[in-house]
Amino acid sequence: MTESLATIGTRPLPEETHSCWSCGSMRAAHFCESCGKVQPPQPVDYFAFFGLPPKLNLDVATLEKDFYELSRRLHPDLNARGGSRVQEWSLEQSSMLNDAYRTLRDPIKRTEYLLHLEGMELEEQSKSATEQARATGEVKKQIVPPDLLEEVFELNMQLEELRTQKKMGEDDPALIEEIGKQKLALEEKHEALLDELKAGWKAWDALIDRGSAANAVERAQITGQMVDVLNRRNYIRNLVRDVNEALES
């Protein structure tokens, strides 16, 4: 994972402009409002890059509009005639713009990014992490959510049976139907967890709105809950992926 370059609360927002390297106007952020020149990139996080508070409910349509507007200023194609410094800054600024937009427009990626800024680590649930653990024989940092323990155990047994049957060229419609039902139940859980996550967003945003009144304990509690929901959600997503693979193979 990438590391944040600044912590929340200490970074300059784009509204906080500085003096332009080219014309000296004080109205420069990513680019200068007066002369249009691209400015050296500032080490800010993705929210701050868009001049946003670090809140989890955001209007994607506005974000898209801002993304297009900033692209028209920062993209290397439109700065190709600048000197080598301008070209370098334009490349860095527009890659940051693209990275930030890609992360923030997706609510799950946005949440994961915020949790990362808050110093929280998610479990490694990615497929490559699974493969890596398998290949190196390491134990993967992944815990079965306690409330799913029983179901997962049963489902894994059934999947094992299905794989064995498939190897033998047999076909058990009843087993396939049973697995299908379980998959459906998992997908419903996956959806329900999104609602839980949304509750987390609301709580977090309220906390940010209160500003300095928010205390660290509360902060850690809300982010901790979101980490838990995301871990469970990712776990279920991977389980569904395994089921699909077993059914399709």
Partner 1 sequence: MSSDHIVGIDLGTTNSLVAFMQGETPVVIPGEDGSNLVPSVVALDAGNQPVIGNAARNLLIETPERAVYSIKRLMGRGVEDIQEELKLFPFRVAEDLQPGEVLRIRLGDKTFTPPEISALILRQLKRNAERYFGEAVTKAVITVPAYFNDAQRQATKDAGRIAGLEVLRLVNEPTAASLAYGLDKKQNGIVAVYDLGGGTFDISILKLHDGIFEVIATNGDTHLGGDDIDNLLITIALDDIRGDLGIDLRRNAEAVQAIRKAVIDAKIALSAQPSVKLDFELPGGKRYQREITREQFEQLIQPIIDRTVGPCKQALKDANLKPEQIDEVVLVGGSTRIPKVRALVKEMFRREPHTDLNPDEVVALGAAVQAVILGGGSQATQNMLLLDVTPLSLGIEVAGGVTDKIILRNSTIPASATQFYTTQIDGQANVAIHVLQGERELAKDCRSLARFDLKGIPPMAAGIPRVEVKFLIDANGILNVSAREQRSGKQADIQVQPSYGLTDEQVEGMILDSFDNAEEDFRRRQVIEARNEAATILAALDKGKKSVAWAELTSDEKKQIARMEKVLVAAKDEDDYQAIRQAIDALNQGTMRLAELMMDTAVSSALKGKKMDETDLGEGPTPPHPMAPPEFQ
Report the interface residues with partner 1, using CB under 8 A.
Answer: 2-3, 68, 71-72, 75-78, 80-81, 91-92, 94-96, 98-99, 101-102, 127-128, 131-132, 134-136
Give min distance, CB of 19 to partner 1, in A. 26
| CB nearer partner 1, residue 136 or residue 249 | 136
Q: Which of 92, 93, 117, 120 is nearest to 5 (CA)?
A: 117
Give min distance, CB of 209 to partner 1, in A. 31
Give min distance, CB of 48 to partner 1, in A. 17
Give min distance, CB of 230 to partner 1, in A. 18
What Cα–Cα distance (Å) separates residue 96 from each residue in 37, 40, 91, 104, 205?
Answer: 17, 12, 9, 12, 24
| CB nearer partner 1, residue 26 or residue 80 | 80
| CB nearer partner 1, residue 79 or residue 182 | 79
| CB nearer partner 1, residue 41 or residue 200 | 41
| CB nearer partner 1, residue 102 or residue 210 | 102
Q: Which of 42, 45, 47, 41 is nearest to 92 (CA)?
A: 41
Amino acid at 2: T
What Cα–Cα distance (Å) separates residue 149 from each residue in 97, 143, 224, 238, 244?
Answer: 42, 10, 21, 15, 20
Q: How many CB atoms lie within 10 A of CB 248?
A: 6
Give min distance, CB of 81 to partner 1, in A. 6
